Each structure stands twice: as structure tokens, then as C-alpha cells.
Amino acid sequence: MPELVDASNANPASVAVIGARRVSRPSEVGRPVTVAGGAAGSGATFTIQGVDRLGCEEPAGRGAGAQRWRRLLLLVYGGGAIALIPWIASLYRAQPSNAVVYHLAVLRVGASAFMVAGMVATAYWCRRDSHLTVLAGTFTATVAFMSAWFAIVTTSGARFTVALAYGLGMHLPVVVVCIWTVRRHLRRLGTADEPPARVAAFLAIGAVAFVPLIILAALGAPSSHAAHHLGLMWTGLDVFELLGMALTGWCLWRRLPILAVAAALTGTLMLCDAWYDVVTTAGRAEGTSVALACLEIPLAVLSFAVARIVVLGWPGRSRSAHRRAASPQAEEPHGGVDDVEVGRRGEVVHVRYRNQGDRRQVLDQAVG
């Protein structure tokens, strides 16, 4: 029988760990749980109940409507990934190796502006300890990587050296910090740990430092120039999109908690593809680029909507709640534990206390 090692009071900042294997199958819902301590008293036994709610281990929900949407999304992302395979093969054969790229100043300024906006959003949501940090961090890391990818792959000679140095010195640190921030936030789900204090400051300072570089790029970039290795650049971008869609479909199918990251990654790649394709073309090719963007932008919006729905189902956490919990004035008379609830895959446990206004305490569950 699983045992709650600590179920102390109705404090939203406190954490309890179930010292037993994870409840991961529907057949295990209904198993009794023994509380080893806390307001309910030692030895109190309660029954694990399944709840129809979104959680970090139940991103797609469990109702009939949620199942239909899940199947539709699986069709969209799985079918889209399969459809990209022949498109990538034909594009690689048809795409010329060298061609003229237009509106280079607009391209660079726009990509840098998107990255700076993502850095500011990541710093803001990280400071507020919000789950939207995952979406903003994924967006920023992807935009920074794609900016460096385009600049490095499409240049040669002295320009290649400058682009490589700029990508490694400016874009790579942004990618690393954002990935680390997202990973750390995912590992802190269901706990009362504080967010990393220096990440917000680093991203804010970096965003300010990029502003003069954006101005220099706008003033110094030519209106057009000959780009190299375009076949590799566009094929690589489409391969990234294929991998993002395949990963999103896999996460939907397996109900993995990283669905939010995969969907945000796919949405950002779609936006980058639309931006680079529309801005860098002119003449007859511009109509084809706009038509492709009309497919890519709705898919990007859908991907961000999926990611947002997922993070809204994660256990909530805020600094103000932690401060209220730590304040002596916030103490209330404690009743017993009314019931214990877990999602179907059992990663997160919720305890509802009597006489607490149905306040819920998020408990982190150890994986046995």
C-alpha cells in the first residue's frame, strides 16, 4: 500500500512524496493510501480517485471530446510529418545551390526582434514563476537557433567566419540558457522550489545588448546578396519541422509531459519557415511563398494553442501563494484530509482538505 511520507497541514507550499511506485494504470485507481503524518493523523487511509483534469502526465484529457481532439491532432501531426518526406526529397532536388536572397535587412531585423521579444517574455514569465516560461523559452531558443542556422549555412568565405563567430558568441548562449530554463522548470513541476534567480536578469541584459546590434544590422545589411547552400538551408529547416511534428505526434500518442515543448517547438519552426520564405523571395516565387505561409501559420497557431492547453493543466505555483503560506496570519484551522486524487497516469497527486475552502495541495510523487 502506498504511503504518504508527509501530508503536513493544508499548506499549498508544502510537498509530500509517496514512497511507493507510481500509479500509472487505470486498474490502480481506487487503491488505498496510508497517511503517515499531518492533519489527518498517522495511519489514516484514503482511496486514490481518478480525476478528469489536465495534468503534466495527462496532457490530452480523458473525456470523449478530448479523445476526439487527440485523434484529430494525431492525424494532423502524424500525417503532416509523413507528407513532408516526399516534399523534402523534391525540394532538395529542385532547390538551386546558389541564388539571390532579397530584403536581407528586413530578414535580419525581424529575426533578431523576434528573439529579443522571446528573451523578454522568458525573463518576465520566469520572474513570475509561470508555466508560460516553457513556451517562451522554447520559442526563444528555436528562433535563436534558426537565425544562426540561416546566417551560417547561406554564407561563405569571410562572411561565413563572421556569421559563425556571431552565432557561437551571441546566439548559442541564448539557446543554452533557454533550454536549461525550460528543463529546470519541467523538473520543478509539483514542487515549491524557487525559480532560478539569475536567468531573468541574464535574459533581460541580453535583450538590451541585442538592440544596438539590430540597429547595426538594419543599417549595414544590403538589400540583397547571393546566398549559398540554399538547398541545405531549406532542406534542413523542413527536416527540423518534420522532426518537430513527429515528436509532437509521439507525445500526443504516448501522453508525454513534454508535449508542450514539442508543440511550441513545432509552432516556432512553422513561423520561422513562413518568415524566411516570404521575406527572402520576390517575383513569381513570392506567390508560392505566401501560399505556403497560409498553411504554416495556422499550424503554428494550432501548435501554440496545444502547448498552452497543456501548461494550463500543470499544477499551479506562485510566489504570492508561497508567501501567504509562510505567513503566520495565513494559518487556518486544519481539518482532516477529505480525499486524495490523482490523474490516470498518477504523476501528480492532489489532496483536498476539509474546512479549507477546497484548497488543493500539490504533492510530488516519487517514481519507484
In terms of DSSP H, where are the helices of the chain?
64-94, 104-127, 132-153, 158-166, 172-187, 197-220, 230-254, 259-279, 284-312, 319-326
Q: What is the pLDDT of residue 62?
A: 52
Q: Contact, 74 vs 249, CB < 8 A?
A: yes
CB within 8 Å of 124: residues ≥ 6 apart: 136, 200
Q: What is the pLDDT of residue 17?
A: 33
Q: What is the pLDDT of residue 191?
A: 66
Q: Contact, 274 vs 292, CB < 8 A?
A: yes
Residue matched to cell numbers 541584459: 205
Q: What is the pLDDT along the chain (368 residues), one digit of tens a residue?
A: 343 434 433 333 333 333 333 333 344 444 454 444 444 444 444 444 433 333 444 444 555 677 888 899 999 999 999 999 999 999 888 888 788 888 888 888 899 999 999 999 999 999 998 999 999 999 999 999 999 999 999 988 888 999 999 999 999 999 999 999 999 998 887 666 777 778 999 999 999 999 998 888 777 777 777 888 888 999 999 999 999 999 999 999 998 889 999 999 999 999 999 999 998 887 767 788 899 999 999 999 999 999 999 998 887 654 444 444 444 444 443 334 334 444 333 333 444 333 333 333 333 333 33
Residue 368, C-alpha cell as written in the block: 519507484
List 18's β-bridge partners, or say none: 4, 365
Q: What is the pLDDT of residue 19?
A: 32
Smallest CA-to-CA distance from 347 within 360, 323, 363, 334 is with: 363
Task: Classify burial at 200, counting beta carbons within 10 Å of its beta carbon; exposed 0-12, middle 13-18, buried 19 or more.
Answer: buried
Residue 125, C-alpha cell as written in the block: 514569465
Q: How far is CA 227 from CA 191, 306, 348, 353, in A?
A: 49, 36, 51, 64
Task: Provide the residue ranges of all domains of the chain, joining segments of one domain with +.
Answer: 3-55+316-365, 64-312
Radius of gyration of the chain from Cα atoms?
A: 24
CB within 8 Å of 160: residues ≥ 6 apart: 152
- How many other CB atoms are there within 10 angstroms of residue 234's CB atom? 20
